[in-house]
Amino acid sequence: MTRVLTTMPAAGLLLLLLSGCAAAGAQSTQPAPTGGPQDRRHLMETMRTDCMERKGFKYVQNIPEPRKISADEELRSAGDYRAMMKYREKYGFGRFADYIYPDDPELRAGSMRKLMASSRVQADMRLQGSMSETQRAQWAVANDTCYSETIKELTGRTFTDEHALRLRMDEISTRLRSSEIDGDPELVRLARDYGSCLRDRGVRVFSLKPTEIEMSAQSHFVVGLEAVAQRDDSIRAGVYIPAFSAEEAAPYLAREVQAAIEDLECGRDFYAAHRPKDDEVSEKVLRELGVSKELL
């Protein structure tokens, strides 16, 4: 097993990772850019590039490739048992499957490994690496200003920088999910039954909250992947991504598939009720935030 070690400055890496996130739609107090989501994203990135160039800096545009959502993925997002079982029988939770099926369109494109290997991230890492510490600090200030000005012009909303926007989005999400999901009596009952079933199968359940219980079975594999990464090298600086071969990942995936199937059997009723409700709350979060998904 080999390793991938990224030693990019922490501030630059944070900007990269935040830029790679996305969520669902919203309203604006200003006229929105014309055209579809991809056109609006292009406009935003062009505005940021122009702003950075006026300040004497280069900027690597972040324009994700359009991604078609399959019918099966839509069903899984709605908590459909058969669609979820079909996926889990092959991919488990989708953690280790990426090493065995790297080009499979059914696997989400947003894994850390794929993100760090993307041409955009690599270009931005080269840009950050070409600057001195002082230049990177100046670049970060300019980037925050340009981001704030662009979002203000496109949405009418004021955020000092992208981090402030994400914090506000998290605050709204926590509040709404606490009241509308953790406060839903039916979801509370289903989560309790789900957790009881997992415990009967020997799974450590960290929380019975409807917003947290889904990670109980998955957390073992998340922690396991991180543990493998840390054992791979004693250096703590940077971001570690274990580079398994398909053969090395296979036994991990086999255990993950079994756990994912057991998790679904226990959470079948919970998923069917929770996922549609969670999607509704996601829409409310973005409406309150006032920034549409293509601008995130």
Q: Output the pLDDT for position 268.
A: 98
Neighbours of 252 (CB within 10 A): 20
Q: Choose from 36-40, 116-120, 144-148 the range with maximum mean pLDDT.
A: 144-148
Residue 234 pLDDT > 60: no
pLDDT-derived band at 24 (thresholds 50, 70, 90) equals very low
Range of weakest confidence among 22-36, 146-160, 207-221: 22-36
Under a CB-based contact definition with an 8 Å cutoff, are residues 64 and 38 in contact?
no
Which residues neighbour 294 within 8 Å (Cβ) at sequence distance 6 or greater?
22, 37, 38, 40, 41, 44
Q: Would you say how long the chain is, in residues? A: 296
Whole-number Å distance between alpha carbons of 9 and 128: 8
Report the number of distinct structural domains present in the chain: 1
pLDDT-derived band at 19 (thresholds 50, 70, 90) equals very low
DSSP of the chain: -EEEEE---HHHHHHHHHHT--------SSPPPSS-HHHHHHHHHHHHHHHHHHTT-------PPP-PPPHHHHHHHTT-HHHHHHHHHHHTTSSSHHHHSTT-TTS-TT-HHHHHHSHHHHHHHHHHHTS-HHHHHHHHHHHHHHHHHHHHHHHS---SSHHHHHHHHHHHHHHHHHHHTTT-HHHHHHHHHHHHHHHHTTPPP----TTTTTHHHHHHHHHHHHHHHHHT-S--SSEEEEE--HHHHHHHHHHHHHHHHHHHHHHHHHHHHHHHHHHHHHHHHHHHHT--GGG-
Residue 44 pLDDT > 50: yes
Range of weakest confidence among 23-27, 98-102, 189-193: 23-27
Whole-number Å distance between alpha carbons of 163 and 11: 11
* Burial profile 143-182: b = 16 or more Cβ within 10 angstroms, e = fewer: bbebbbebbeebbebebebbeebbebbeebbeebbeebbb
In this predicted model, which residue has the larger pLDDT, 235 or 286?
Answer: 286
Structure tokens at 56: 């004497």
pLDDT-derived band at 3 (thresholds 50, 70, 90) equals very low
Sole residue written with tokens 């996926």: 87
Q: Pick from 52, 56, 55, 44: which is nearest to 19 by CA?
A: 44
Whole-number Å distance between alpha carbons of 179 and 93: 27
Which residues neighbour 45 within 8 Å (Cβ) at sequence distance 6 or greater?
61, 62, 63
Range of weakest confidence among 102-111, 121-130, 245-254: 102-111
Domain residues for the domain of 196 are 2-295
- What are the pLDDT digits (tens) for 185-221? 999 999 999 999 999 999 989 999 999 999 887 887 6
Whole-number Å distance between alpha carbons of 183 and 238: 39
Whole-number Å distance between alpha carbons of 43 and 35: 10
